[in-house]
Structure 1
Amino acid sequence: MTASVLCVSSFGLPSVKPKPGGFESLDIHEGHYGVPDVMTYGLSSSRPNVASSHPLEQSEKMYTKNKELMHMTMLRNLQGLHAPLRLTMELRAAEKVGRLPFLPSSNFMRDVLSGRDEEIGFEDFLNTAEFREQMGQPHAVLEKQLGIL
């Protein structure tokens, strides 16, 4: 009975609390002398084995995903199934808008649909197109995409 009351009181919304991630053991194959056997197993990358040091870090990484999930669940509870389906369909259509490959995309349509057009973040002034590190020649980029080059 408490489980049904708990489910009704939360309205099916996802949990806001961060879920603790377990630490994974490092898979290092050691040789006869206790030294990693690089010749047999190769160099191992430590990046995928590094766990977050604090639960807040994992929560911050998943913030936008959790926010979108909460928004879609709330839309479904308030307006029915059509609202999140329609919004998802519009977001997918906004992602498929074609543009020449050498022109950077501002993703303004996606930002408007998700409500990010009213927020100011670091990507608004630090990631502008005119200060990009890589800039290709437009004709060469088009020829490469068309398979001419």
Structure 2
Amino acid sequence: MSFRIAPSARPELTTKSTFDTSHSEFGSHDTLRYGTRSIKTEVTPGHPLEHRLSQWGETQWELKLNMARQTYGMHAPIRMMMERSLVGKHGRMPVLPSSNLHMDILMGKDETIDYEDFLNDPSLSTDMLDIHAAMEKKLNL
């Protein structure tokens, strides 16, 4: 049980594989969907601050669960994790726009204004909406 407020400064070294980005039929790296490969990003770890920022939300969630466990008992974090898993499941098609307001309320993001709140306009997105690829990805999960 850890009451860590900020993530650790040093990221854990992991080996990266192109198995997750391989094409299902050809077996090679799928450049059109996942971009070009870079040996530098596969070998060198990122900046420690980048690791801290990527792990910030998860560390805060673990802190909230540990504090609820100490304050209310074991049932409180179990209920919080159950609510998060239920709300996290999407019932819509993946390419339809949706806001997950319930998840924002559970995570405490309804009280803050982040850049996603005003720069997350789907009409300004440069991503192509490939319905077939999105449904394949949803079915493979």
Please give the range of the TM-score, normalised by the shorter of the 2 chains.
0.5 to 0.7
Within-5 A mapping of 1:102-113 = 102-113=95-106
Q: Partner of 1:20 in structure 2?
A: 10
Relative to structure 1, the CA distance from residue 51 to residue 87 in structure 2 (aligned partners, 3 Å threshold; closer, same or farther) is same
Within-5 A mapping of 1:23-42 = none
Within-5 A mapping of 1:62-141 = 62-134=55-127, 136=129, 141=131
Q: Partner of 2:42 in structure 1?
A: 48
Structure 1: 5+ residue runs without aligned partners?
A: 1-10, 25-42
Cα shift at 1:111: 0.8
Percent of aligned positions that are identical: 30
Q: For this pair of structures, how many residues does the alignment match?
A: 113
TM-score between both structures, scaled by the size of structure 2: 0.63
Q: Partners of 2:87 and 2:53 in 1: how far apart?
A: 26
* Greater radius of gyration (CA): 1
Relative to structure 1, the CA distance from residue 76 to residue 49 in structure 2 (aligned partners, 3 Å threshold; closer, same or farther) is same
Q: Deviation per CA, 1:121-148, whole angstroms, max 9, x where unpaired?
A: 11111122222224549xxx48x949xx
Q: Partner of 2:33 in structure 1?
A: none
Relative to structure 1, the CA distance from residue 63 to residue 127 in structure 2 (aligned partners, 3 Å threshold; closer, same or farther) is same
Within-5 A mapping of 1:4-19 = 12-14=2-4, 16=6, 18-19=8-9
Structure 2: 5+ residue runs without aligned partners?
A: 15-36, 137-141
Higher relative contact order (CA 8 A, sep 6+): 2
TM-score between both structures, scaled by the size of structure 1: 0.60
What is the Cα-based RMSD across aligned positions, in Å? 3.2
Cα pair 2:93 2:135 within 8 Å, conserved:
no
Q: Partners of 1:145 and 1:23 in 2: how far apart?
A: 33
